[in-house]
Chain A
Amino acid sequence: MTTANANPFDILLVEDEPADANLVRSALKESKVLCNLHLVQDGVDALSFLRRLGQYLDAPQPDLILLDLNMPRMNGREFLAEVKQDPLLSGIPVVVLTTSDVERDVVMSYKLGAAGYITKPVDMEQFIDAIRQLDNYWFVVARLPRKN
């Protein structure tokens, strides 16, 4: 699941649908964003990843979390709330992936501390654009101090 690369940026994608995960990977590839993409299936796994529990003992701390809102076990909202309550994790920017521009979801995400949101692709061009902007913003403009 890891695209090894010289670029040190790590992105954690929390997404249960492989087809959508694949779309994100394709968009990242197309937009020439150089990063390591880590994929987990749901919120519970994502927390294990972040806290380096179980199989994720050697997991890096991601620079960005891309979060799907609708997942089994722990859904996106619960995960987001949990991350923002944890002082060790709350500094990691979380960008929400939504299926629609349902205002309710967007407002809720921002309330819970999401750094931004991307509407899931209906049009690949748009999605690649969005990912590229993400790249510009989070990896260049709002570059965070790197923790080791």
Chain B
Amino acid sequence: MYTLRVYALCIVAFMDNTQTLLGILGTGPSYGYDVKRSYDRYFGSKKPMAFGQVYATLARLLRDGLIAMLGEETGSGPDRKRYEITEVGRKRVSEWMFTPDVPEAQLQSNLFAKTVIALLLEDDAEGLLDIQRGEHMARLRELTSAKRGANVMEVLMCDHAMFHIEADLRWIDLTAARLTELRAQVTGA
């Protein structure tokens, strides 16, 4: 059985960390430390996100109005800032989740993050996988069409791209088939 940890070991290198952190904040207001802990739990089992990167990303999100600060508490420890996602931020997360990526190698890392965030937000994870499948099929049709009348070298180049897309599609189908299992693991249900 593939566990979340195994997925994460394989595919976190090409994720959009900014959108992923924003998506985590979409589950509810949180301190920076807790955002990092959630990220590490879902995506960082091999390579936890550095505190510096977390706070730099949160500062950027704050500057862009995608999150807001709920108040700064004085007291012990450096981490007394609590953040919540804004409406603009929620819209950004939704756009990110439901905008298919251009089919290319390592795509599934970002798609994996979108799927997990959608499950955390109780959004339509199956729907975003369907949208990505459609994007992949469109690219596969383009390449199939490009092969007609092409010379053998061009055909082989198309074949190479097509087999990679096919591998992505298999991953998408398997993930769709395992969504219930993944949902249970991600949400702890």
Do chains A and B interact in one complex? no
On A, residues with C-beta under 8 Å from B are none
On B, residues with C-beta under 8 Å from A are none
